Amino acid sequence: MGIFVKNATLSVSISLTALQTVGFWAPEGLTETQRCLYRWFGVFSFMFMLGSYIFIQVVDLFMIWGDLPLMTGAAFLLFTNLAQATKIVNIMVRKQRIQNIVNDSDKVLTEVQTFEEKEIVKSCNREMIVLQVVYFSLTLITGLGWATSAEKHQLPLRAWYPYDTSKSPAYELTYVHQIGALLIAAFLNVGKDTLVAALTAQCRCRLRLLGLSLRNLDKGLDTEDKFMLTPDQEKTVSSRLRLCVVQHQETLQAAKELQECFSEPTFAQLTVSLIIICVTAFQLSMTQPDNMVRLLSMGTYLLNMTFQVFIYCYQGNQLTEESFEIAGAAYECLWYKFSLRLRRALLIVMVRTRRALRLTAGGFTTLSLTSFMAIIKASYSLFTLLQQVNEESHLDPEQQFVDHTGSRLSSHLRQHSLTMGFIVDNANNSLRVCLTLLKVVGFLTPPQTGVYSFFLWVYCFASFMFLVGGIIIAQTGAMFQIWGDLALMTSASFLLFTNLAFALKIINVVVRRRQIQAMIDDADDDLVAEDREEGRDIIKRYDASKSPAYELTYFNQSSSVMVASMVNTCLDVMVASIIAVCRCRLGLVGLSLRRLCEGIPVIGKDLLTSDEEKTVQFRLRQCVIKHEAALKSTRLIQQCFSYPILAQFTVSAVIICVTAYQLAMELNNGNRVRSIPMASYLLCMMLQVYIYCYQGNQLTEESYEISGAAYECPWYKCSLRMQRSLLIVMLRTRRAVQLTAGGFMTLSLSCFTSIIKASYTFFTVLKQVEDRNPK
């Protein structure tokens, strides 16, 4: 391989050449010694451009902690470098998979022959070159502006160094390092971003080529005065349609590989860009108007970051639009002159395109122009918040210091085949742990009769009162005593609400234990077949400050909190694990659909033989049975856990809000030690919501994949009867499997972000109430 990496798309060539030059894209054909030297060269490049600079910026950030203008001045470039480091590591780790995507697309785009196909490839190339030039120009102006805007004996960018940078030659050397590393890293960042955008554009180009082929299915055939195609023409069209289906399947696989390779780095970039746009706008608003060079460079940097988000969202949006156009392209051919068999095949293609091809950022948001606008709006909201904090930072508002501790993990429940043994046996390890613990505390015990059943109920009630019942009564009494004091109420309420949600989940599991047990047994069978201070502000009916009442109460609170936290975690993990098992079952159905023709020689055949058809038909029936069983399990999950999840989400939104409020009070009081468990509790509550939403989101995605799995098998070589059966399966998957929280909201990552937004809204309301009612 030469210095310049060749590719059908010039922007891909430029990006890969830049990566190869700095040591992040190893050329093919290197010896082991050359590969080792190249790796060390990549490490040196990384440390020169990013590694050393990230370290000194982090140190500087700690040294200026508390000064908001200085912190934002140091943070915006630090976050940029962190995001770029993430993308570099991703490219180096997944280099081979990305190389396969590049080679596959390059092969398709270089083999185009007709004038129309070449024009499609050229238009894709021109579009990406325009985007790359604009991005490069904004980056160059920003870098040069920073290089020339520094005052005398001042560095262009804030950073901490273990030496005096105001003296020569340290100043000159550090200045050159900052500008050199900044420009190289900036241009490299352009290369990485445009690489992802260009690969997405190549997928779009392949979809456009596919659409052209579908429109030209009957091209060159004399069909002008014919009512139906002749048998020879039918064979020609059938052969062309098969090539289109194979091309479509390969393009869908390429898009799937893009999603798997770049989803997480794209999410990191969009998250960081949201913050960077905010703090850059804040820095721009504080820049002195007499420093026009600095003002211009900050303005172009703001545009640069905005454009960076735009190219991701634009290409993702256009990819979705092009995937929709496939159905229209199939409709534009002379399908009304085709035989019933060809019409059925075209219908399968059109049904598959009903589910749009979408790229997501970590599964949280789809890359679209709507997402771009949402990111800009969120950045503006954070910008206004920074301005408010900066204006109020000179004031000394009174803060109430409230003693409360405890951090209680809230999660949901799980279960399986309950045996008389101590350890519950289950194919899923997380379920095994959760069910065993729930069995020990008496909430999911084996079925018993007579006196043993009575004792089990007594033990279950005693566990409930020890873990949560007594504490709820005490905390409710404390709430009535402090009613009207906002600070004390939030201090007491967040654990009270946690306990109430916990109690509801326990009651749900105890009442529906037999249904839950049957559901877990069914899924397990399927998978096995497949292969000195009071801890909290609560009221007691005795003086808890004297011995031995203090020690006994302290022990009761500490032990009940720890055990209840573990049980609560098991409850949440149990539900999440049951959903994950359903995902697994749907994944197995998809795998079976892709392997319908496994072991059957289909190459060189127009149709399967009758015996081969029977084999495929039997396999398809088994897939349908498994699919129906998995759908039944999801309905049972919805029936058993829908309302407890709604209660948990409602309570979690309030808990996240009041915990953030209490955390802010602790930080304002300077109590950093106490802030650590509060921050941990806040993260714990967010994670509790996340595991539900994540598993529900992935379940929906797996249900959609069934249609794609059916499309990926060589269905075009099956009989009309088999194609009709596959079409029924694909039509069923148009209605996604969704779990809801009481029917109000779907468990998805969008739901998770909505809950966090709602909690933030409640938090701002609490702050406003506090500001209007100072003590």
Quote the CA–CA distance of 269 and 290 in Å, as a whole number.
33
pLDDT > 90 fraction of the chain, expressed in percent and rounded: 2
Give the CA-trace dihedral at 235, 237, 241, 243, to 10 degrees. 70
Kindly state whether residues 199 and 84 are assigned to the same domain: yes
Rounded to a whole number, what is the distance in angstroms from the first to the last CA of the chain?
Answer: 73
Kindly state whether residues 120 and 169 are assigned to the same domain: yes
Choose one of 363, 392, 421: the last residue of a domain: 392
- Taking only the tens place, the pLDDT of each residue in 253-270 is 888 888 888 888 888 888
Kindly state whether residues 576 and 477 are assigned to the same domain: yes
Pick the closest to residue 193 from 298, 341, 306, 115 (CA basis).
Answer: 306
Quote the CA–CA distance of 174 and 165 in Å, as a whole number.
7
Kindly state whether residues 681 and 552 are assigned to the same domain: yes
Q: Is the peptide bond before 169 cis (omega within 30 degrees of 0)?
A: yes
Query: Residue 361 pairs with which residues in a beta bridge?
Result: 365
Q: How many domains does the chain have?
A: 2
Is 406 a member of any domain? no
Contacts of 489 (CB under 8 A, 6+ apart): 479, 482, 483
Is 4 a member of any domain? no
Here the tokens at position 614 are: 């029977």
Q: Give the CB-side neighbour count of residue 206, counting CA atoms within 13 A.
A: 31
Q: Give the CB-side neighbour count of residue 467, counting CA atoms within 13 A.
A: 28
Look at residue 404 in the predicted model and tell me its pLDDT.
34
Look at residue 496 in the predicted model and tell me its pLDDT.
67
Choose one of 341, 357, 392: the last residue of a domain: 392
- Taking only the tens place, the pLDDT of each residue in 392-438 is 554 443 333 333 333 333 333 333 333 334 566 666 666 666 667 67
Quote the CA–CA distance of 373 and 379 in Å, as a whole number.
10
Contact between 305 and 189 (Cβ < 8 Å): no
Look at residue 425 in the predicted model and tell me its pLDDT.
66
Kindly state whether residues 484 and 529 are assigned to the same domain: yes
Name the amino acid, one letter, at 553.
Answer: T
Contact between 387 and 282 (Cβ < 8 Å): yes
Burial class, 209, CB count within 10 angstroms (exposed 0-12 / middle 13-18 / buried 19+): buried
Q: What interhelical angle do 720-732 and 610-668 show, nearest 10?
A: 10
Is 400 a member of any domain? no
Instruction: Please give the mean pLDDT across all residues of the chain.
Output: 77
Choose one of 364, 392, 420: the last residue of a domain: 392
Buried b (16+ CB within 10 A) or exposed e, 653-668: bbbbbbbbbbbbbbee
Distance from chain centroid for Cα 366: 10
Q: Is the peptide bond before 774 cis (omega within 30 degrees of 0)?
A: no
Kindly state whether residues 334 and 428 are assigned to the same domain: no
DSSP 745: E
Quote the CA–CA distance of 311 and 299 in Å, as a whole number.
19
Contacts of 407 (CB under 8 A, 6+ apart): 565, 677, 678, 680, 681, 684
Look at residue 352 in the predicted model and tell me its pLDDT.
81
Is 282 a member of any domain? yes
Q: What percent of the residues of the chain are helix, what percent strand, and what percent coil, each to the nearest 5?
A: 75, 0, 25
Kindly state whether residues 484 and 579 are assigned to the same domain: yes
Look at residue 474 in the predicted model and tell me its pLDDT.
66
Kindly state whether residues 388 and 421 are assigned to the same domain: no
Kindly state whether residues 365 and 422 are assigned to the same domain: no
Is 1 a member of any domain? no
Ranges in the chain, pLDDT < 50: 1, 394-421, 532-540
Look at residue 492 in the predicted model and tell me its pLDDT.
58
Quote the CA–CA distance of 115 and 216 in Å, as a whole number.
13
Look at residue 137 in the predicted model and tell me its pLDDT.
87
Contacts of 522 (CB under 8 A, 6+ apart): 629, 633
Kindly state whether residues 88 and 118 are assigned to the same domain: yes
Kindly state whether residues 242 and 147 are assigned to the same domain: yes
Domain that holds residue 467: 412-772
Query: Residue 572 pairs with which residues in a beta bridge?
Result: 412
Is 482 a member of any domain? yes
Pick the closest to residue 382 from 390, 370, 372 (CA basis).
Answer: 390
Contacts of 483 (CB under 8 A, 6+ apart): 489
Kindly state whether residues 348 and 445 are assigned to the same domain: no
Look at residue 157 in the predicted model and tell me its pLDDT.
65
Here the tokens at position 234 are: 């039918």
Is 374 a member of any domain? yes
Here the tokens at position 637 are: 């999950």
Is 344 a member of any domain? yes
Look at residue 359 in the predicted model and tell me its pLDDT.
87
Distance from chain centroid for Cα 183: 31
Quote the CA–CA distance of 408 and 337 in Å, as a whole number.
68
- How far is residue 504 from each of residues 300, 407, 458, 641, 653, measured CA to CA in Å? 54, 19, 18, 11, 16
- Taking only the tens place, the pLDDT of each residue in 500-545 is 766 777 777 777 777 777 767 776 666 655 553 334 444 445 555 6
Burial class, 231, CB count within 10 angstroms (exposed 0-12 / middle 13-18 / buried 19+): exposed
